[in-house]
Amino acid sequence: MPARRQNALKILLKNKIGVTGLAIILFFTFLAVFAPFITSNDPNQVFVANPWAIPQWATIFPPYQGWPTNMQLVSSDITSWNNVIIYHSHVTISTGIASIPNSILAVSRYSSSEVSNKFLEINVTLPATDIPENIAVLNSSTTFTYNFKPPYNFLFGLFVYPLEVKNVTDFYFLITLKTPSGKVYHLTNYLIMATSVQEVISYRNGLSLNHWNPVSLTTILPDVNVAALGSGGEGIPNTGLIYLNETGTYTYTIQLDAITSSSVGFLSLRISNPYLFVLGRAYGLMGTDFEGRDIWSQFVYGARISMEVGILAGVFSVLVGAFLGLFAGFVEGILSEVTMRITDIFLVIPFLPLAIVFITVISQNAFLAQTIYFWLIVLFVIFGWPGVTRVIRSQVLSLKQRGYIEAAKVLGAKGRYIIRRHLLPGVMGLVYANIALSVPGFILTEAALDFLFPGVSETPTWGRMLSEAFEHAAAAAYYDYAWWWFIFPGLAIVIVSLSFIMLGYALDEIFNPRLRGR
C-alpha cells in the first residue's frame, strides 16, 4: 500500500493540470491560514482610505494615473511653520516638547513616525472692550506641493492644549487654503463644511482645559447619486475635488482668532501636530468598498470560510457516503435496497430552498447563529453523502464481479478482511476524486447562501462581499462599476472551484487508468 501511494503521488505531480490545481489550493489555504499576518487591517474597519478607492497598483494605467493615495500633506512640526504674530506686542510665543496620547492622535490618522513632539505656546493679553471684538492673534502657514489628481475628501485640523482662558469670550481657528493659481478657500466656512464648524473649531464648544484636544474637520461626503447628478443634473462633486484640483504649490494657513470681553483677558494655549490628510483614492491591493473598508482584508479573511466550509463538507460528506456505499455494496439484500431508497429520496429534495429555510430558522436563534457555519457543514454533509454512496456502491458491485473477490471468499477470508484488502484500495481512488470534485459545489452553494443572507455573520466572506457590492450596484456604476469590488471575490470563487476540479480530474486519471490520455 505505501508503495502504491508513493507511486500515485509521483504520477500526480507529473500531471500538469493536477499540479496547477494543487498549487492554487495551497495558495488560498495559505491566505486563509495566515490571514492576520498578511493584512494589517481589520476587515470591518471603515475609512481606511476613501470609499470606492481603486487598488494601488491600478494607478499605473492611464485612466488612473496620478490618483492620490493616503497622504499627509503638511509637516506636523508646527514650529517649522511660518508663524507670524499679528496682534503685536500682546503676544508671546515659545516652543516646547509635547506628548499627545495616541488615542487622541488617532483622530488625525497619523502613522506614528509622523508625529512631531513639538508644540507652540502662545500667550495673549486681550484688552477690555465694550462689545466683543474679534482679534486676529497668530498666523501659522506652511506650503506644500501637490502633484496628484484631486482627492474626493481630506481630513484636516490640529491639536490644542488650552492652559488658561481668563475673561476671553471665545477663541477659534480659521483655516485657509491658497491654491497655486492664487484662489483662496476658507476651509472653516460653515457653508462648505460637513459639521457645524463653530462647534468644532471654537473653544466654547467642547475644548477642555489642560488637555490635548483634537480639532478635526472633514470635507463633505455626499450621497453619490446626488453627487453624480446634482439637482439640475449637472453634478456636485465631492468637495475635495474642488479644493485640491490644481497641481503645484499650495499655502495652508491656520489662524488663531480671539474674541474680547468686557474685562481684560488672558489666553494661554499650546498648539501642536497640525495635519492635512488626504484620503486616498487608491489603496492597498484591492481598494476599498462603499464604506472605505479594505477589500483585500475582507478577501483574505473571507478565504477562511470558503475553504473551511468547502473542504470540511467535502471530506466528511464523501467519507460518510463512501462508508455507506461500501456497506450497501457489500451486504446486498434488503439492507442494501433500503439504503439505496433512502439515497434516492435525498437526491430528490431540492437542496437550496431547504438550505435557505434552514438558515432562516437558525438565524432566529442567537445561540445557534454564532456557530452557523458549523451547522451549515452539517447540513451539507447530510445532503452530500447520497450522491457519493451511489457511485461507491456501483464500484463495489463491479469490483465484486471480479474473480479475486470470489477467490478470497473461497479461501475463507472474512468480510472485514475482504473489505480492507480488496475493496478498499479499489474504492480509495474514487473517494479522493470525489472529495476533490464535491468541494467546488459546496463552496459555490455556501457562497450563494452568503449572498442571499449577508447579515447572518460578522465575518466577511466572498459571498457577503458580493452581496454588499450588489446592494450598492447603482452607486458603483458611477465609480467605474467598482470593478475591484465585484471582480475579485467572484473570480476567487471561480478559481478555487476550478482548482479543485483540476485536482479531481488529475486524481481521476490516476486511479482510473482507462481515462488516461483523454
- Name the residues that contact other proteins, by CB under 8 A: 344-345, 347-354, 356-357, 360-361, 440, 444, 447-448, 451-452, 463, 466-467, 469-470, 473-474, 476-477, 481, 486, 489-490, 493-495, 497-498, 501, 518
* 110 vs 298: CA distance, rounded Å: 23
Toward other proteins, which CB reaches closer, 18 or 463? 463
Contact indicator for 34, 44 with CB cutoff of 8 Å:
no
Beta carbon of residue 24, minimum distance to other proteins (angstroms, whole number): 12
The single-letter DSSP state of residue 214 is E
Toward other proteins, which CB reaches closer, 107 or 378? 378
Q: How far apart are the first and last CA of the chain?
A: 27
Toward other proteins, which CB reaches closer, 157 or 504? 504
Lookup result for grid cell 477470508: 413
Toward other proteins, which CB reaches closer, 46 or 361? 361
Beta carbon of residue 462, minimum distance to other proteins (angstroms, whole number): 9
Determine the 3-state secondary structure of 442 from DSSP: helix
* 146 vs 150: CA distance, rounded Å: 9
Beta carbon of residue 345, minimum distance to other proteins (angstroms, whole number): 5
* 377 vs 434: CA distance, rounded Å: 17
Toward other proteins, which CB reaches closer, 317 or 497? 497
* 315 vs 302: CA distance, rounded Å: 20
Toward other proteins, which CB reaches closer, 121 or 308? 308
Toward other proteins, which CB reaches closer, 226 or 354? 354
394-397-398-400 Cα dihedral, nearest 10 degrees: 160
Give the DSSP per-residue string, 368-412. Answer: HHHTHHHHHHHHHHHHHHHHHHHHHHHHHHHHHHSHHHHHHHHTT
Toward other proteins, which CB reaches closer, 229 or 347? 347
> Which residues lie below 8 Å from residue 450, measured CB to CB, with a gap of 6+?
305, 456, 461, 462, 463, 464, 467
Beta carbon of residue 489, minimum distance to other proteins (angstroms, whole number): 8
Beta carbon of residue 451, minimum distance to other proteins (angstroms, whole number): 5
Give the residue from 3, 35, 8 showing the smallest Cα distance to 459: 35
Beta carbon of residue 206, minimum distance to other proteins (angstroms, whole number): 42
Toward other proteins, which CB reaches closer, 135 or 433? 433
Toward other proteins, which CB reaches closer, 144 or 358? 358
Beta carbon of residue 11, minimum distance to other proteins (angstroms, whole number): 16
H/E run at residue 319? helix 295-331
Instruction: Please give the grid coordinates belonging to residue 137.
Output: 492673534
Beta carbon of residue 449, minimum distance to other proteins (angstroms, whole number): 10
Beta carbon of residue 17, minimum distance to other proteins (angstroms, whole number): 11
Which residues face 92 on adjacent strands? 123
Give the residue from 264, 270, 269 showing the smallest Cα distance to 168: 264
Give the residue from 362, 177, 161 showing the smallest Cα distance to 268: 161
Determine the 3-state secondary structure of 176 from DSSP: strand
Determine the 3-state secondary structure of 462 from DSSP: helix
Q: 260 to each of 167, 205, 216, 413, how far by Cα in Å?
A: 8, 17, 25, 107
Toward other proteins, which CB reaches closer, 26 or 357? 357
Beta carbon of residue 158, minimum distance to other proteins (angstroms, whole number): 41
Beta carbon of residue 38, minimum distance to other proteins (angstroms, whole number): 23
Contact indicator for 302, 295 with CB cutoff of 8 Å:
no
